[in-house]
Amino acid sequence: MKRNTRILGRLYALLLNLYPRAYRVEHAEELQAVFNLTVNEAAQRGGFSVIWMSIRELRDLPGGIIFEHWRERRKQRMTTERGSLLTFEPGSWRETLAAVAPFLLLGLLPPLLSLMLLRALIPPWLGIGLTLVLAGLLGGLFVTGIRKGMQRWVLPYVGVVLSLFSVYVFSDLLFGLFSVLVDRRDPWFLRQVVYQGKLWIGLFVATLIIVLVAWVSPRWRSLYWRIRRDWTLLSFALYGASLFALLFTFDDYPYDEPYIMAGMVILAMGGWFYLRSRWLWQRALALFTGLTLAMAVAATGKAVIYSIPGWSSGMFTWQTEAMGTGIMWGWLVTMVFSPILLNLLPRPAERLPTE
């Protein structure tokens, strides 16, 4: 009898393979264990009980298998409908606030601090202390976000770091490119396009490196799959670079505080609407509007500041200064929007945790 029960157990194990994979992962072990116990119990009552039990199991098994396949397909269809090509899960208020914090904190606090220091409303040591607190807070948020598996809200922070890499590391590697591609005889506009490209192309390279690392590293593999399902995450990371771009475009400019503050608030609003939106077109519009309006404010600000008598060197005009920011906007928009187009590719199927 024991031999027979073992054979029945093996036969049942074979039949379990007919269930959908997800169901097998979840329940096969338990099904097998309960079946073995049921067979053993029936065996104690006699051969007839085993036959009766086997008939009952064999009678119900095909229906159960068909039902589970149908349910699995239904689940997959519902998941596809919920996470269709052009819709995304909106972020919570907390997540959104954490994501736009660098825009608001860096946009509003430093100009206020410098104003208070200028008017001697606070002592210099307090100004330094508050600046360190601000840097510590943002750095802490960045490290927390990375340690938690690079969640969506930390992506703009990553963009800021990438922009630093692009401008101060990668553009130096391309030092010779500027002189090879253009020289003084070329039109100013073309030279600006190449110069700005040299500054910002590193953003794209760094982003590709992140995707590659996430692909090959088991630790970051979940990030890779999140990106594959939602390429706008890369756009959101690149959008973070606009924070640094806004500060960078006002390099050496005086009286730039109101424009930086306005630009940062606009960028924060763009990020806010990105995370709170469900549809792809809403997300794309949020990033485009944020980036465009912020850079428009910056270009206007530069034109206004440049026209202040006695400040500018006179080498350029307010038009060329504003145009430089416009070209920078062109590069940033191109980079932010390239990943969005990848969302038109089919999304990968959901991966089971065991794979």
Partner 1 sequence: MQTNYLSHLPLTETTFYILLSLAPGKKHGYAILKDVQALSNGEVSLSTSTLYSALSRLLDQGLIERISDDPENSAGPGLPRKAYVLSDVGRRVLKAATNRMQALVAAARLRLGEERT
Binding site for partner 1 (CB under 8 A): 23, 26-27, 29-31, 33-38, 56-57, 59-61, 63-65, 67-68, 71
| Pairwise CA distance, residues 219 & 215, whole Å | 9
The nearer residue to partner 1, 72 or 95, going by C-beta atoms, is 72
**Least CB distance from residue 89 to partner 1, whole Å?**
20
Q: Which helix (H) or strand (E) holds 85?
A: none
The nearer residue to partner 1, 23 or 195, going by C-beta atoms, is 23
DSSP state of 218: G
**Least CB distance from residue 7 to partner 1, whole Å?**
17
What's at 26, amino acid-wise?
A: E
The nearer residue to partner 1, 19 or 248, going by C-beta atoms, is 19
**Least CB distance from residue 39 to partner 1, whole Å?**
10
**Least CB distance from residue 31 to partner 1, whole Å?**
5
Q: Which two tokens stand for residue 86?
A: 């052009």
**Least CB distance from residue 26 to partner 1, whole Å?**
7
DSSP state of 279: B
Residues ≥6 apart with Cβ < 8 Å to 337: 235, 284, 287, 288
The nearer residue to partner 1, 16 or 141, going by C-beta atoms, is 16
Q: To 5 degrees, how large is the angle CA 321–CA 323–CA 328? A: 100
Nearest to 104 by CA among 148, 157, 151: 157
Task: Note whether 329 and 295 are within 8 A (CB).
Answer: yes
The torsion region of residue 144 among left (phi > 0), alpha (psi -120 to 50) and beta comes to alpha
**Least CB distance from residue 346 to partner 1, whole Å?**
26
| Pairwise CA distance, residues 176 & 313, whole Å | 27
**Least CB distance from residue 53 to partner 1, whole Å?**
8
The nearer residue to partner 1, 76 or 289, going by C-beta atoms, is 76
| Pairwise CA distance, residues 146 & 213, whole Å | 14
The nearer residue to partner 1, 59 or 119, going by C-beta atoms, is 59
Task: Note whether 131 and 110 are within 8 A (CB).
Answer: yes
Q: To 5 degrees, how large is the angle CA 104–CA 162–CA 336? A: 75
The nearer residue to partner 1, 30 or 355, going by C-beta atoms, is 30
Helix %, strand %, coil % of the chain (to 5): 80, 0, 20
The nearer residue to partner 1, 66 or 133, going by C-beta atoms, is 66
144-177 exposure pattern, b = at least 16 Cβ within 10 A, e = fewer:
ebeeeebbbbbbbbbbbbbbbbbbeebbeebeee
**Least CB distance from residue 353 to partner 1, whole Å?**
15
DSSP state of 167: I
